[in-house]
Structure 1
């Protein structure tokens, strides 16, 4: 007596896929297309339950039923057993006039995983009698609905940063488009393991310090993975190491921290500055340096109090320490110079062409010393600044030479003749004779030869 039509949302229903359940709503629209009113008592809807082609759902207990007559009057709908719902008329029997309608709604239907045609079996109890006491007749009808195959999820796409170029330490956000049916993770250098993400956007916990590639891993319900990559460039990168095979062209190199030194590459050379943007020369530290020339104001030791060498016009000076006017000491294994004018030299060996000096003395302050008065030399002993005393000359032979008309005569004092002093003379003819010793003055301080 009544007419039944099925509508679904979505239309058509999509079968569930593995790991991706599909849910929808089934609307059973009941109308009276006859010329007379009908009186109905119950309408039963039997749902095919299972996972097959002709089944609507395998989770019958999750369906939420409800009913409504002419859009305003609620209708009582209750489950019947494990596979049916029954609508019952108010008061046991209700008038269904021509043109009236009733909607029985099945919400939260989890669609079976196999595509196909599912049939709802409807059994009504109704009568054409004009009174409510008429005996209703039972009749059935089949109403079909379609389940389509599940659509393949579209692969995620458009993985990109909100800024293609950032400064070191600047925050950024990565975005992508993709179905919520995927599980997403992002991996990047420095991350111990992929980071689970969702919602189509994610910000790294630490801003990148150098060019960094991020990889989006999207896994569909069938465990198939999709990979998308994007790279963020850093305007002023911080690198742990840098290897250049063909060279580096740059106007300057500076330390990573404020106040660090900088090396600038000027025309034909380099300059070391105390800090970037400063005109103050910096300090160059090296274990060893090999150069063809060094132009500098001074050279000093590493420690406080170390000696200092300054470079004057036409020469150098050795000071005991930087900023002092006290002459320092020059230590050398061997020194070859053309002249020594002042200062102090300590060396194992010195080879010079000429030495101009006030005196020559042994290493100890008690050693004898030689001064150079006008026209000769003087051998002295005692402290230099005390009243000088004549010192000793130790020698086996003292030889004095005289030349006469190109021919030479020799006179010498020989101290090796049995402990005695001999004065000897060698004439022009080569014969040696004993000579004489003439003393004009005896100095009491002169004890022995």
Structure 2
């Protein structure tokens, strides 16, 4: 029976056995030595033998990783360090020696022998440490050797808790925002993030990731965190999170019911024309916000309200629409233009003059007094040719037959003169009648 009392404590309590494929389980073992007797005990050495191996009764598979230290405390509260040293090679033991070769261990005093950084053996079970003491009842008397067995529990390795709380720092991203994804998880997993078009492995001991500019989300994007255990067999866990983009970039959009939006705009500065939906219809704006152009192959409309219409080129003719009707202009200025048509069916025509298609054709002007007929595009009098004329009256200086050699009639102040054609002379002509009936 030992004079001193031995108690084992561990941190963590209990110790967890190491598992294959995972970082080794480590812990600290405390051996508390006390004197619970009524009188002092004198001690010389205390030796602690550690069971080494991979079995259920072994504490560790690697004795060399253990870091020992010791401390002595009196009932009055004073403390001092003691030297806990490895025993002979191959003994798998630690030994502490009393100062001066022998020291008093008073009732109520205690000593703590600490074994740090113990790599716990892989098999669960009860590990027994053997303690041997050299003690006696007097300072100079004979010492005796006694042994004690102290035990501790090693539990089976617990299942690694899966990663959790995979989250973005922002759920709605603006164009200039940088996305950061974070999560909680064990170092016993390796991590990888999957996203549309790519995958990225995460460095060890890292629990956050930000996509590079080339991988930044352009639209609503779902990220998948894949956690793979380092144990055998491997276990995988999948976590997802989704971020939204305030101004998404879409390759194609199909809406089966409709799209509700105040406006639609191009994606680049060069194409940032905008279509705005107002209460009365649609407005087309250019990339500076001013009114712009609508280009189409064909327009099928019920009506068009516009100030003017022009050809495709800036020097084409154009039509404006004043209150009085229609103005036809030519070029880009305000000079009058021409209307070309195969036929015109009109209720009336108000015009200064009318001419044939060529500039040397005859033309008609409309003075206040009536009608002027000119020839050759000049102001020389022209001829009116007709099969029949039904008139209320004719005011003229002379009348002649259709041929230049025909006779002609002159209307003088005194009456009527009848001439015959004779080389332009005024020789009297002949009046031929069938009958004269007069009163």
Cα offset, 1:106, TM superposition = 0.4
Instruction: Name the residue aligned to 1:353.
Output: none
Q: Aligned partners of 1:195 and 1:292: how far apart in 2?
A: 62
Written as runs of structure 1 = structure 2, the 5 A alignment for 1:368-407 is 368-372=360-364, 380=376, 384=377
Instruction: Name the residue aligned to 1:263.
Output: 275
Cα offset, 1:190, TM superposition = 5.6
Q: Aligned partners of 2:207 and 2:389: how far apart in 1?
A: 115
Which range moves more in the overlay, 290-299 or 232-241?
Answer: 232-241
Instruction: Name the residue aligned to 2:185.
Output: 178
Distance 1:179 1:195, change over 3 A: closer
Instruction: Name the residue aligned to 2:139.
Output: 131
8 Å Cα contact 1:66/1:106 also seen in 2: yes
Distance 1:119 1:440, change over 3 A: farther
Say whether residues 1:252 and 2:263 are aligned partners: yes
Instruction: Name the residue aligned to 2:115.
Output: 106
Cα offset, 1:360, TM superposition = 2.0
Distance 1:115 1:441, change over 3 A: farther
Distance 1:314 1:135, change over 3 A: same
Written as runs of structure 1 = structure 2, the 5 A alignment for 1:12-411 is 12-17=14-19, 18-70=21-73, 72-80=79-87, 81-82=89-90, 83-128=92-137, 130-132=138-140, 134-171=141-178, 173-189=180-196, 191=198, 193-196=200-203, 201-202=208-209, 208-222=217-231, 223-255=234-266, 260-267=272-279, 269-274=281-286, 281-313=291-323, 315-322=325-332, 324-328=333-337, 335-338=342-345, 357-360=353-356, 362=358, 368-372=360-364, 380=376, 384=377
Q: Aligned partners of 1:266 and 1:170: how far apart in 2?
A: 31
Cα offset, 1:231, TM superposition = 2.1
| 1:62-95 deviation digits (Å, cap 9, x = unpaired) | 1100112226222222222242222222223333
8 Å Cα contact 2:374/2:381 also seen in 1: no
Distance 1:74 1:266, change over 3 A: closer
Distance 1:281 1:399, change over 3 A: closer
Pick the structure with more strand per residue: 1
| Structure 1: stretches of 5+ with no match in the other structure | 344-355, 392-397, 404-410, 414-422, 424-437, 444-449
| 1:202-256 deviation digits (Å, cap 9, x = unpaired) | 5556675533323222233333121122223345544443221222133433445
Aligned partner of residue 335 in structure 1, secondary structure: coil
8 Å Cα contact 1:170/1:208 also seen in 2: no
Q: Aligned partners of 1:156 and 1:399: how far apart in 2?
A: 107
Q: Aligned partners of 2:23 and 2:389: how far apart in 1?
A: 128
Aligned partner of residue 321 in structure 2, secondary structure: strand
Q: Aligned partners of 1:399 and 1:190: how far apart in 2?
A: 87
Instruction: Name the residue aligned to 1:446.
Output: none
Distance 1:375 1:251, change over 3 A: closer
Matched pairs, number: 382
Q: Aligned partners of 2:201 and 2:258: how far apart in 1?
A: 36
Aligned partner of residue 193 in structure 1, secondary structure: strand
Aligned-CA RMSD value: 4.1
Distance 1:248 1:195, change over 3 A: farther
Q: Aligned partners of 1:442 and 1:195: how far apart in 2?
A: 118
Distance 1:441 1:38, change over 3 A: farther
Cα offset, 1:335, TM superposition = 3.4
| 1:293-328 deviation digits (Å, cap 9, x = unpaired) | 322111223443333222234543332223x12234
8 Å Cα contact 1:124/1:139 also seen in 2: yes
8 Å Cα contact 1:169/1:209 also seen in 2: no
Q: Aligned partners of 1:257 and 1:400: how far apart in 2?
A: 72
TM value normalised by structure 2: 0.72
- Higher relative contact order (CA closer than 8 Å, sequence separation 6+): 2
Distance 1:265 1:24, change over 3 A: same
Distance 1:10 1:213, change over 3 A: same
Distance 1:240 1:315, change over 3 A: same
Cα offset, 1:273, TM superposition = 4.1
Aligned partner of residue 362 in structure 2, secondary structure: strand
Distance 1:402 1:302, change over 3 A: closer
Say whether residues 1:8 and 2:10 are aligned partners: yes
Cα offset, 1:44, TM superposition = 2.0
Q: Aligned partners of 1:361 and 1:11: how far apart in 2?
A: 114
Aligned partner of residue 100 in structure 2, secondary structure: helix
